[in-house]
């Protein structure tokens, strides 16, 4: 009766030794995944900042283009009004 109990104890001790001493891939994978997720989130945040800056720059450029077009139109209308006024003043009726 002692031999089966001793054999069982030896088998359990051996199995506990091998299973408790091995490294699990999940531990390293979890650390690696967390690092990759952190890096990916940093990349996404950087990309979002870049997109935001690009949108702001495009909006400023559009605003400047509208201002320039309005100024050119105003100048053209004033010039046309002056030409009409000069023609009216110079006409002999």
pLDDT of residue 16: 73
Token pair 């950087």: residue: 46
Q: What is the pTM of this model?
A: 0.48
Distance CA 1, CA 8 (A): 11
**Model confidence over 46-65: pLDDT tens digits?**
999 999 999 999 999 999 99
Domain ranges of the chain: 43-87
Token pair 């720059």: residue: 57
Residue 22 has pLDDT above 60, yes or no: no
Beta-carbon-side half-sphere exposure of residue 63 (alpha carbons within 13 Å) = 6
Q: Which two tokens stand for residue 52?
A: 């935001």
Distance CA 38, CA 74 (A): 54
């Amino acid at each position: 009766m002692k031999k089966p109990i001793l054999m069982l104890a030896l088998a359990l001790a051996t199995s506990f030794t091998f299973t408790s001493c091995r490294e699990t891939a999940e531990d390293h994978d979890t650390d690696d995944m967390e690092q990759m997720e952190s890096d990916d989130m940093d990349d996404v945040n950087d990309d979002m900042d870049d997109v935001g800056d690009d949108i702001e720059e495009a909006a400023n450029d559009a605003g400047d283009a509208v201002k320039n077009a309005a100024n050119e139109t105003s100048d053209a209308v004033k010039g046309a009004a002056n030409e009409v006024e000069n023609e009216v003043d110079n006409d002999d009726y």
